[in-house]
Amino acid sequence: MRRGLVLIVLLGATCAVRAQSAPLADPTRPPIVEPERAAEASAKPVGPRLESVLISPSRRVAVINGNAVTVGGKLGDATVVAISEGAVVLRHADRKETTLQLLPDAEKRVRGAAPREEGNPR
């Protein structure tokens, strides 16, 4: 009995020493970015970026590059033509239109509808 108790105490002490010697990760530390990925991210073209949209019964406001604009408002050489729940249309001085997406990488799908695969009998 005494031998078993000594074994348990030694095992517990060994585990405690190992736990204390393991380095703790700092949750507030920024992630380590590989140099090629950092260069890739900084090489993206900088242009107007839609950051937020506010739609109410009485007004529509978009925040583009930190500036609040309404329909008819100016942003550089462009005029805001339309504001919807996920996009803003800008018309430039040369009459060219640009659509800024709130979530450009998101794909909108109908809720509950999964993409069908070929050969799927559903």
Q: Distance between CA atoms of 52 and 102, rounded to whole angstroms?
A: 7
Segments making up each domain of the chain, as ranges: 50-101
pLDDT of residue 28: 85
* Beta carbons of 93 and 77 less than 8 angstroms apart: yes
Q: Shortest CA distance to 48 belongs to which of 79, 71, 27, 22?
A: 79
Q: Is the pLDDT of residue 121 over 60?
A: no
Q: Is the pLDDT of residue 79 over 60?
A: yes
**Chain center to CA of 7:** 51
Residues of the chain with pLDDT > 70, as a percent, come to: 74
For 74-90, what is the mean pLDDT? 94
Q: Distance between CA atoms of 24 and 36, rounded to whole angstroms?
A: 27
Q: Is the pLDDT of residue 95 over 80?
A: yes
For 63-90, what is the mean pLDDT? 94
